[in-house]
């Protein structure tokens, strides 16, 4: 690297670290929220209230 390796490799390194970090954080965050949702749905809560009382169509999840 013509004597400039000490500047070039850290530059590529920091790019790799930030990009990998953003990707991993996004995937982890999304999975954690999917788990929250699954846990809530398992308790029987739905957007329209609990099963017996149907409040009509206020849901947007078509």
Can you give the binding site for another protein, defined by CB under 8 A?
1-5, 7-8, 10-12, 14-15, 18-19, 21-23, 25-27, 29-30, 33-34, 36-37, 40-41, 43, 45-50, 53, 60-62
Smallest distance from the beta carbon of 55 to another protein, in angstroms?
Answer: 9
- Please name the residues in contact with 9: beta carbons below 8 A apart, sequence gap of 6 or more: 1
The DSSP 8-state label assigned to residue 62 in this structure reads -
Cα end-to-end distance, the chain, whole Å: 57
Smallest distance from the beta carbon of 35 to another protein, in angstroms?
Answer: 9
């Amino acid at each position: 690297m013509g004597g400039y390796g000490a500047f070039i490799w850290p530059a590529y390194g920091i790019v790799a670290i930030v990009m990998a970090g953003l990707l991993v954080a996004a995937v982890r965050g999304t999975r954690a929220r999917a788990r929250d949702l699954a846990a809530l749905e398992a308790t029987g809560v739905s957007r329209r209230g609990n099963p017996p009382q149907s409040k009509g169509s206020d849901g947007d999840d078509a």
